[in-house]
Amino acid sequence: MGTLVLTSPKTLIDDLDKETIKEKNVTKKALTMGISTIMKSKKIILLASGKKKAKAVRCLIKGKIDKNCPVSFLKRHKNIFVIIDEKAGSLL
C-alpha cells in the first residue's frame, strides 16, 4: 500500500488494489471516504461490479443496518441510486 494523502478529515487518496488495476490505462489511485462524509452528499450513486462485491450488495439491499457492513448505513440516505452488474447482484 502506498502513502495516504489527507484531503479532508475523512477523505483520503489511496492506491488501488492490484486486482482492480489489471486493465491498461487505468488510474492507480482513488479517493476513499468515510460513511459520515458520504452520508452528507445530496445524492449517492453506488456502482458495484464483480463477484467480490456481491456480499456488500446483498447487505445493502436485503440486510439490516449493521456496523460490520458499512455499506448498510446507506439505507438511511434519502437519495441513493444503485447500479450493479449480474455478478455483483448474484446473491440477491
**Segment 7-66, tens digit of pLDDT:** 455 788 888 877 777 777 778 888 888 888 889 889 999 999 999 999 999 999 999 999
Residue 49 in grid coordinates: 461490479
Position 5 scores a pLDDT of 47
Question: What is the pTM (predicted TM-score) of this model?
Answer: 0.70
Whole-number Å distance between alpha carbons of 83 and 4: 28
SS3 at position 58: helix
pLDDT tops 50 at residue 6: no
